[in-house]
Structure 1
Amino acid sequence: MNKESIINFENIYVSYELQPILEEINLKIKEGEHWTILGSNGSGKSTLIKLISNDLYPNTKYPHKKEIFGKARWSIFDLKKNLGIITNDLHNYFAMHGKFLTAYEVILSGYFSSVGVFSHQDFTQEQHEKALEVLEFLEISHMKDKKVHQMSTGQLRRCIIGRALIHKPKAFILDEPTVGLDIKSQDSFIKLIRKLSKKASIILVTHHIEEIFPEVSNVALIYNKRIYKQGLKKDILNSENLSEIFEIDIKLEEENNRYYIKSIN
């Protein structure tokens, strides 16, 4: 049985005015796979996320294929029902503009992709029950009525995930999900991502090696505006490749299916 394609990109170029940002992007991710897209700051990771989310479009000068879940065209609202996109920009927006929302309201707002819950929005009993289920899955039922401005970074990030989770998306894109978290919170959040990976495919976009959780099966390395290498984690994630894309001599080690940098020269 063939797995459904989540992302199918061929020969994609992205430019800002005349400045090339991504070049010759070829990437295929299938349902049920968990991927890490790894690269340094400025390598093109954020642009790739915007390409996937339809906030940016390919340069039509080059023949290309850009399909998400087998379709070339999506409304952004419909795409978000299938693909939960969790970025730090979204987190920061809620932290700034949604300060007085409760955890429950943040999650419920996902039904309308709004920042907040408003009187003209009608929610069914089923939707309310689903929001409560999501709180329980995320292990934050105890903070149902807690306001955003009272939350830790990790608590708000769980709520942002919950906002996407109500749609039961087929896949999640997580953009550096443990940034701003202390060691204990990082460990707790990685455990949550592993739990989430049982429900949907995870595409982890990061430059943090320690975020790569054991269930990740494939890795794509992005370097100098291109996909430098991609394939099975065991074949791609090694000292030589990381040294190349980060432009520094890295000694990578693996223990209990978790990777860490032993030394940098």
Structure 2
Amino acid sequence: MHTPLPELVAQLNAYRPAVIIGYTSTIMLLTAEREAGRLTIDPVLVQPAGETMTTADTDRIAAAFGDRTVVRTVYGATECTYLSYSCAECWYHVNSDWAVVEPVDADYRPTPPGQFSHTVLVTNLANRVQPFLRYDLEDSVLLNPDPCRCGSPLPAIRVQGRAGDILTFPGISGDEVRISPLALSTLFDRTPGVELFQIEQTASSALRVRLRLAEGAEPDLVWQSVERELKVLSADNKLARLTIERAQETPEQSPGGKFRTVIPLA
């Protein structure tokens, strides 16, 4: 996740994995490397997960890796990781013996099949440790009004929801350097004293960092660690420059009440 893309490509070329599973944003970075001829692996399965996928994304991955590679995506959430899987017809089939998916409008009334919902409520039937009942995922989904042509009897949905957008920065050599949001997120996960973070790209080479610290954490020491880690990430990825701003405000919630940890440049 923190490995610079050229180094990651070299490691994959040396290891030659049969299966690639990862966040969609990272898989799309690898797809571009495959298109450029720098990534030379031939996996039998590529499985993007965790972020929004479009049919165009799936088609691009399949075209880049070739006929010997099957592309199957997963739509799920931390609250229900086994929510659904994709089929050859590019629909997500809900594992309805384990989960209930309810597309609803802004007033939480059922959305008719064939129409994209305002949001979707998920009930996790298999988690006996921490049940989730009608949890609002803030995703827009469409329920297939017809039986899926793949033959599966399970409910089939399309997703128009959240996307973990790749952040793009100018590189030292004048090219664009793209960094997965996961590389930034895990940086904070390993920084002691950070309870919650939010990093916003405010300009092409500028990041604004909002922090909520754990009780007893020393603000200046935590900030020094965060700033140091971001500078290392910038150097490893050969960014031309990176301005890091320490925000005075804490992470801000979306209208739905969630905290978006990485916000790309609008």
Do Structure 1 and Structure 2 share a fold, with TM-score over 0.5?
no
TM-score calculated relative to the size of structure 1: 0.28
Greater radius of gyration (CA): 2
Return the structure number with greater relative CO, CA threshold 8 A, min gap 6.
1
TM-score (norm 2): 0.28
Higher helix share: 1
